[in-house]
Structure formats: structure tokens, C-alpha cells
Structure 1
Amino acid sequence: MQKLPTKLYRAAQVRELDRIVMTECGIPGIELMSRAGNAVFRHLRIKWPNAKTISVFCGSGNNAGDGYIIAGLAVGVGLKVIVYALSDPENLKGNALIAYQDYIKAKGTVTPFQADMVIKADVLVDALFGTGLSKPVTGVYEQAIRNINKNQPNVIAVDVPSGLNSDTGNIMGCAVKATCTVTFIGLKQGLYTGLAADYCGEIIYSSLAVPKDVFKKVASNIYRVVKKTFPQRSRCTHKGDNGHVLIVGGDRGYSGAARMAGEAALRVGAGLVSVATHTEHAALLNLGRPELMCHGVGNAEQLSALLDKANVIVVGPGLGQSKWAAELFIAAIKSSKMLVIDADGLNLLAHVAEKHANWILTPHPGEAARLLQCATADVQQDRYTAAAAIQSKYGGIVVLKGTGTLIAGHDDIAVSTTGNPGMASGGMGDVLAGVIAGLIGQGFLPKDAAQQGVYLHGMAADLAVKQAGERGLLASDLMPYLRQLVN
């Protein structure tokens, strides 16, 4: 598998990289376009070596120029090529026009696209839109995208799947569902969150041989999480060296959430884990995991002694929003300890709207919407902006869960690319909260604990589904893989 860069960019930043390459490095735009077309064609041949027919969809901008170069390369090796033009190629400008003219000189042909066409080819090339799309796709372009998605499973997208917003990962009306996407110069941040996972397919990167120094000239505070190697433990370590995690949660009927959070903290290496829960089931909570120290608490006063003993507190798994829950929540956030706030802890936080540096918030999109007092759709429309807004309002570290989970600090946002659809089941968030707390207990800095916790959580799920598939994956299925990964 290709090793991808960690730094991610907005579309405007990639355009600035392009400008620097052309004006300061002296590489002409047509040369960059040629390199891009060659990169796509090379990967097309690697992925589908037996393909005989290629259909290329070209729009009206520079992305179309890439498409005409790809088509010309295909003609040159004897493939049957059909280019479907969605605008008159004679009206193209600059380098895109040059690329079209070179394709015609190579005896290539162009067919104006019509909505009722039946498209049959071994591979379709999407060269309709690049990163400059700023409004929803309509008209003949919408028809072309729906035709592509309907007629062909083998689709390679040029730079970004047409219709996908390269900054947010959101869909601009409709978008091409690509088998793979070959993206250039700078990895676009929208390829890794939102709805992008259903549209990008495999992401392949080409720097187009741009000098490495160019990337130092455009600062970006968005990056992908990569797994860190955990330090080896001292032979003389003892349980007190590895943190004491306290889980506060488990109202009537929801004891399992607190139990899973506690076990997850243990499985990533916490030395001790206590659970403060409802008195009615405290004695039963650790029957299947006796290593958990479970305590029934009826009020904040009874919780106080447990708060004093802990290094890090998880508040929220199965907590509910009753008077009992609210009292324990307020007691927890008034402590000076590091906090991981999840689930109903976040719903309670939305009502008190406090801001602290010593907590990690782990909302899913619905909880994020409540924290921001907006609609869930608004959060999903631009996840980067939503994560940054929550961090600005509440402080600390914010983990906005979902496909392409975002981890926002006060000056940067990390994106985790692990995980799979099998994680869409109850209890996964409780396990994540426990994982993050367990890492903090062992001495990880909060940002590292959040980033590595999210990454390991998703990777554990990825390992778990290799055995039996995504459907039916349980949160507790992650436990043995979490232990494996931290070792």
C-alpha cells in the first residue's frame, strides 16, 4: 500500500502550491497537467491491465485538460477511446485547450455527451470537475454523473471525484462514485471525512515531482493521524504507575456502557479502573470483569472520595440525564482532574456551557449539534468547521466522531482514517472513551491520547471485521485487538 503524506490542504492552499511551482520553480502549467494525466493513466493501467476500452468524461476547466491528456495516452497505446465532452472543447482556455488540441493531433475524437447515451467501457475516467466546484451540480453535468454511477463499476477520478467538495467531504448535489481517486500535489482534506469514503474509493497520491521545499511555503494545520510506537514498560513498573481511571455512568438500564468503558481502559493498559454507578446494579457490574472496582454512589458527596483517588475521569457512558446524573456530572467537572466527557455527559454539558482546558469531548454529530445549538445536518455539512467551533466554545480537545473522525485542538485538527461501517452499533463510543482515558492514565498528553485512542479504536475494529465481516460487530469484540495493538 502506498505511503501517503500526513499533511492535508484546502483547495485554496493547493492552488497556492500550484502557483509557487509555476512562478518560483519555473515548471509550466502544461507540464504539471501532463504529469497529472500521466499519473492517472499509469495507475489506470496498473489497476485494470486488461482494459481495452476507455471512456473519458471531460468538463470545461483544467480537469478536462487532464482528461484529454489521459485520452491521448490511451490512444497512443492502441486502446479504444471515447471522450464525452460536456462543453465545446474549442471553448477551453489555456493549458486545457492545448491538451485538447494535442489529443486531436493524435487522431483522437470527441463525442458530445447526451443524457440518453448508453456508456459501455472497461474503465471510465472522471475529468469533469476539479477542486474549484463552488455550487451544486445540475443540468447536463448531473446527468453525466448519474450516467457514470449507473453504468460502470470501474471509475478512476482525476484529483477529486466530481461533485465532492474537496474542503468538506460533502456532496454538491451529486457526485461520482469512484473506484479510485488519483489526487495531485497536496492531499485534499475533504477526501478523508464526511461522505468522501463512499465516493473516493482507494486514494492514490502523486506529488507530480514537485520539489519538497514548495510544501514548506504553505502552512497547513490539518493532518492525518499516524500510529505511534508505545514505549516499552519498565520491568519494575507497578499498577500505580499506569493510572487510575474512574468511569462515572451507568444509570438504570445502561450499566453496560460504563462496564465497556472500564474494560477498554484496562485493555489499553490502565493500572486501575473504578466505576461509579447506580447503587442498584453496582454489585453486579463486574461479574464478567472482576478487575473492575465497582461502587454504588447515590449523590455527589459519595462520589467525592472516588474523584480524589482517580487520575482521569470518564463521565457520561450510560449516565442518563436524571437529577442523579446531573449531580454527578457537576461534581465531576468541578474537580481538577483530567476529564473525558462522552454521551449524556455531553448532553448535560450543552446546558451548562462551561469552557475548560482539561477535558476531551467526544461527540457524535447529533451531540455536536446540541453543543452548538444547530441541526445535525449543519455539523455534517462542514465537519472541520463544526469541530473547530466546538473547541472554541468549550475548550480542551474535541473528538468529532464519524467516518473520518476529527480531533480538534486549539490550533490544529487531526483526521483518523481507521474504522469501518461495522462500528455503527451501540457501545462503540463507550469503548473509545475508555481507550482515551486509559492512555491518559498512562501518561499520554491529552492530544496524543485523543489522536492515538481514535486511531487504535478504529484499527481494532478493522482487525475484528477481518474474521467475520462488518455486520454484527460488537463493541466488546474490539477488546482483544486493543490489547494486541498497544503491545
Structure 2
Amino acid sequence: MYIATSSQLKRYDQALLDYGYSIEQLVDKASDCLLKHFDKYQCIMIVCGPGNNGADGISLGIKLHQEGKEVLLCLTGKEEKLSQANRYYLDQAQSLSIECLFVSEETLEEFQKSVPHFDVVVDALFGFGLNSDLRGIVKYVVDLINNIEVDVIAIDIPTGLNPDTGKPYNSCICAYQTITLTAYKLAFLNPESEMYTGKVILELLDAKSFHEEMLFSQPIDFKWAKYHIKERLYDGHKGTYGRIMHVTGCYHYRGAALLAAKAAVYAGSGLVTVWSNEKVIDSLSLFCPEATSCQRHYFDEHLLQGKDAILIGSGFGLNEDSERFVCELLNHTQVPVVIDGDALTILAKHPELLENHHSSWILTPHHGEFKRFVDFKQTSEMVDQANAFAKKYHVTLVLKSPHTLISDGNETYRIMSGNKGMSSAGMGDTLAGIISSFLGQGYLPKDAAILGTYLHGLCGDEVYKENYTVVASKVIDEIPQMMKKLKQD
């Protein structure tokens, strides 16, 4: 299974055409995938738009007609504005004397009276290319269908649903089932989209696959995490599980350093050292006595010797001294680094550091922080920019959001854990601490990022089962138990 944005799907379709398929062939393959889902229906209304989604519907109607079904094709586009494939299949349908109704202001009453006589209505109006509110006849048709008791099956995506956000435009088909083609739409990750999609069924075209070339996202679930988490060794010791340095916290943001350190300890790090100011260090012995510390006055490269990973930036503060410190550390270290929080803000001001880094970097921005590096307006643009950014700068990017996106520029992943209750202070610091722990334990940067983010969400899901909101300290408490569950289940 893959997950794709609308812009990725457009490029995918173009790649198929460039490979040598005609649009008519692709429509034929799409309708082949759809056909089996209508075995139980005898009377079928297919409502078609003027584009290729409509062409899928017309081609499906032809095949259903040839099976002896009663089919009515309801066409909402003007004949002179039909796509090439739409025109091609409409000509075929008319040559077979399949009943067609061109829906207009003059025929609306006829359309309205016809709908209740059918077992199912097929939504083939618009696919993932729709990017605006519904207007005119189409909006009327959608609203009318929603107000009649009849099964509705959407082809690819319900008309009126934003393909990237999962939010409806001004009106949206409410289907009981959606048969989606090629890949899951990013929209479907939004749980609120389910009231429009109903059950989603994925069908793959019998055609050349470009899923990996298009950087479609792979979902990360419990099975993936279970397979990749390592066993603790019989003769392991604290050196086996990583010595990591956290350059975190400041006078105003002591909690960030404490949460990150405790998360790293609970995720299995052998030794966590917090390089911070006096106030943080004073609090550390009470909040996380397992961690060690050293006081931060100026950058000292020698303190990084023997370390397996570094976390920098969580609650670090923004001033001239912190900026100088971050630049010196990132410019000199050859140890793998997790860059979080204020260090990301500083890094965005010094892009030359991205061009010349000497070690593996994992960046953990939320959308606002990522916008300091690249500009984007829509969700689909953000995903493309994230993949391009990771590839250009040879970093692993953890773009925090619902179903967090992780990319190393060659492969892209979506995390299938986490919940809306986790939108609270300290959650990012906790995540950074977990990822730094796995990085220090010897996981590849990509795997450390994926496993850390999935575990973070899994712990949040466990807390959310019995709580309205989720706080970071409770998430941390769940880490050892959830890691044990991953190895046992």
C-alpha cells in the first residue's frame, strides 16, 4: 500500500502516458478494476463529469451494460468541453444505445425523478484533480444525491473532497464505499474524511508501476516497528546502547531538556549526558537521575568525544551565544545529530551549514519551522518540497504533523500512530529524545527517525485510550511498556 498527494498522482499518470499507454487504455484498465464491485447491483446510475474520472465511469457503464445490467449514464459536462477519453467512451456508449442523460437546468427534474429507481449511484464526477468549490449543476447533483436514500459508490475519491487535506469543499458526496485507484489518497489519513468516503478499497491498475519513482509514501505500522526494533543483548552494557549528548534547555525552557533526556533514557540509551545551564542541571537529578550532566559555558569539542549521537536545540533558546554555539557544533562534529527546536531556527539562518555537514543529520521541524527553509502553500507542495529538501541536503527529515512524514530523499514514509490529543507542550522534545536514543543505539538515521516517531505515537495512543488530552510526561512513562509490547506481540 502506498499513500500519495494529488501532485504525485498527476505525475504518476503522466509517467504512464510517457511510458506508452494511451489515455483510453488507462481508462479501460481502471474500469476493469471497478467492474467486480457491482456484481450485486442490477440497476446502476453513473453520474459522470467531463474529465477522465467521468471517462472511467462511462467505460464502466459500457462493461456493465454488456453484462446485461440496466445502466443510465448521467453526464454533467457540456459536449464541446469533454476530455479526449470522455468523448471516446461516450461515442462508444451511444453506439451501443446505452441510455444517456445530459444533466442541465432543463433536465434537472428528470434527473431527480430517476435517482430513486436505481440500486446504486456511482460518483464519477471529479477525481483528485478537483481543487475548488463545486458550482452550478454539479453542486446541485451532489446535494440531491446526498438527500436520497440510495447506495453511493465513489470512483477514486468522493467528488468535493480535498485530495490532500481530507476536508470537504462547499459540498461533497457522502459515499458508503470508495474504490480508489493506484494509491491511497493523502486525504484518507484524515479520520474526518471517512464520513464522505465510507469504506475505502484500493485497486491497482494492471500497468507499469511508478510508485517508488514518484516517492509515494509507505505507511509505518506496528508490524514494521516490531520487525525493526532490536533485541537487548545478553552481554550488553551501557556502552552497547549508546552514549549520547543532549545540548538542550535554557533558563526559560528547562522542561524541554528534562523531557528529552528522560525520553532517551526510557527508550534504552546506555548513557545520556545533558550539556546545559545550571538551572537545568539542578532539576535533572530529580526528574531524571539516570542522566549525567555538564555545565554549558562555551562550545568545547572535547566533550563530544566518545559520543554516539547528539541532540541539539530542544528548548535551547535564541540569542547570539546560542546561535554561535549551534553553528560551531554543527560545523565541527562528525557525530550523528538530531536537530530540533531552536537549533532549526538557527540553522535556517545559516544554510551554508546544510551544504557542508560532515555527519548524518536528522531534522525534526513542524510545518512552521520547515517554512523557514522552503516556501510552500498547499499540502501537496509541502510533501514535494520535503522530499526535494531531504535529497538535496542528504538529511533525514521528520516533518511533524498528523501522520508525520519522514523522508531521506529516496524513500518516504507516513507514521500510522499518534492522535489529536498529543497537541501539547513538550511533545516535540519527547520525540527528539526518543529519536536521539535510537540513533545512539546504532540504528540507521532513517530507521531511528521512523521507529522513534512510531513509538512516540504508539505511546500517545496508549495514553489517549483513557484520557481526553495527552501530556508528554505520560507518553514517556509508556515507552518501556510499548517497546516490550513490540517485541512480544
- The alignment's TM-score, normalised by the length of structure 2, stands at 0.76
One of 209, 218, 222 as aligned partner of 1:224: 218
- Residue 429 of structure 1 aligns with an amino acid whose one-letter code is G
One of 33, 36, 60 as aligned partner of 1:36: 33
1:248 deviates by: 1.7
**1:445 partnered with 2:447:** no
Q: Is the 8 A contact 2:11 2:214 kept in 1?
A: no
1:222 deviates by: 3.3
- Residue 255 of structure 1 aligns with an amino acid whose one-letter code is R
Matched with 1:473 is 470
3-state SS, counterpart of residue 284 of structure 1:
helix
How does 1:15-30 map onto structure 2 within 5 Å? 15-17=14-16
3-state SS, counterpart of residue 401 of structure 2:
coil
Question: 1:61-97 CA deviation, whole Å, 9 max, x = no partner?
Answer: 2322443566789999999998754225796411355
1:148 deviates by: 7.5
In 2, the alpha carbon distance for the partners of 1:309 and 1:149 equals 67
1:401 deviates by: 1.8
Percent sequence identity over aligned pairs: 27
Matched with 1:140 is 136
Matched with 1:159 is 156
In 1, the alpha carbon distance for the partners of 2:144 and 2:453 equals 35
In 1, the alpha carbon distance for the partners of 2:230 and 2:64 equals 51
**Relative to structure 2, which stretch is displaced further, 224-233 or 199-208?**
199-208
How does 1:418-437 map onto structure 2 within 5 Å? 418-437=417-436
Distance 1:178 1:240, change over 3 A: farther
Q: Is the 8 A contact 2:392 2:409 kept in 1?
A: no
In 1, the alpha carbon distance for the partners of 2:316 and 2:214 equals 38
In 2, the alpha carbon distance for the partners of 1:259 and 1:22 equals 57
One of 180, 183, 194 as aligned partner of 1:183: 180
Q: Is the 8 A contact 2:94 2:100 kept in 1?
A: no
- Residue 311 of structure 1 aligns with an amino acid whose one-letter code is D
The two structures, once aligned, show a CA RMSD in angstroms of 4.5
One of 321, 338, 351 as aligned partner of 2:349: 351
List gaps (5 residues or longer) in structure 2.
none
One of 63, 67, 72 as aligned partner of 2:57: 67
How does 1:3-402 map onto structure 2 within 5 Å? 4-5=1-2, 10-17=9-16, 31-41=28-38, 57-68=47-58, 85-88=75-78, 92-98=86-92, 105=98, 112=104, 125-133=122-130, 136-137=132-133, 139-140=135-136, 143-144=139-140, 147=143, 156-162=153-159, 176=172, 181-184=178-181, 186-187=182-183, 190-191=186-187, 203-208=200-205, 210=206, 214-215=208-209, 219-226=213-220, 227-228=224-225, 229=227, 230-301=229-300, 304=301, 306-333=303-330, 334-353=332-351, 354-355=353-354, 356=357, 357-372=359-374, 374=375, 378=377, 380=379, 382-391=381-390, 394-402=393-401
In 1, the alpha carbon distance for the partners of 2:333 and 2:321 equals 17
Question: 1:229-269 CA deviation, whole Å, 9 max, x = no partner?
Answer: 12323211111101122222222232222222222222332
Q: Is the 8 A contact 2:263 2:434 kept in 1?
A: yes
- How many residues align? The count is 460
- The alignment's TM-score, normalised by the length of structure 1, stands at 0.76
1:29 deviates by: 5.3
Distance 1:308 1:454, change over 3 A: same
Distance 1:145 1:417, change over 3 A: farther
In 1, the alpha carbon distance for the partners of 2:200 and 2:144 equals 19
Question: 1:287-344 CA deviation, whole Å, 9 max, x = no partner?
Answer: 233223244423334xx55433421111111112134433442343232211111111
Question: 1:369-413 CA deviation, whole Å, 9 max, x = no partner?
Answer: 1123x4xx6264511222134335644222222234322324343
Q: Is the 8 A contact 1:225 1:455 kept in 2?
A: no
3-state SS, counterpart of residue 239 of structure 1:
coil
Q: Is the 8 A contact 1:145 1:175 kept in 2?
A: no
- Residue 327 of structure 2 aligns with an amino acid whose one-letter code is I
Q: Is the 8 A contact 2:424 2:471 kept in 1?
A: yes
In 1, the alpha carbon distance for the partners of 2:277 and 2:67 equals 72
Question: 1:115-152 CA deviation, whole Å, 9 max, x = no partner?
Answer: 9979989976432123455x645532773587389758
3-state SS, counterpart of residue 283 of structure 2:
coil
Distance 1:111 1:189, change over 3 A: closer
In 1, the alpha carbon distance for the partners of 2:26 and 2:350 equals 54
List gaps (5 residues or longer) in structure 1.
46-50
- Residue 362 of structure 1 aligns with an amino acid whose one-letter code is T
In 2, the alpha carbon distance for the partners of 1:98 and 1:339 equals 61
In 2, the alpha carbon distance for the partners of 1:449 and 1:11 equals 32
In 1, the alpha carbon distance for the partners of 2:399 and 2:277 equals 28
In 1, the alpha carbon distance for the partners of 2:125 and 2:48 equals 5
Distance 1:286 1:21, change over 3 A: farther
Q: Is the 8 A contact 2:391 2:409 kept in 1?
A: yes
Q: Is the 8 A contact 1:169 1:190 kept in 2?
A: yes
In 1, the alpha carbon distance for the partners of 2:242 and 2:148 equals 54
Q: Is the 8 A contact 2:143 2:171 kept in 1?
A: no
- Residue 209 of structure 2 aligns with an amino acid whose one-letter code is F
**Relative to structure 2, which stretch is displaced further, 264-273 or 390-399?**
390-399
**Relative to structure 2, which stretch is displaced further, 242-251 or 108-117?**
108-117
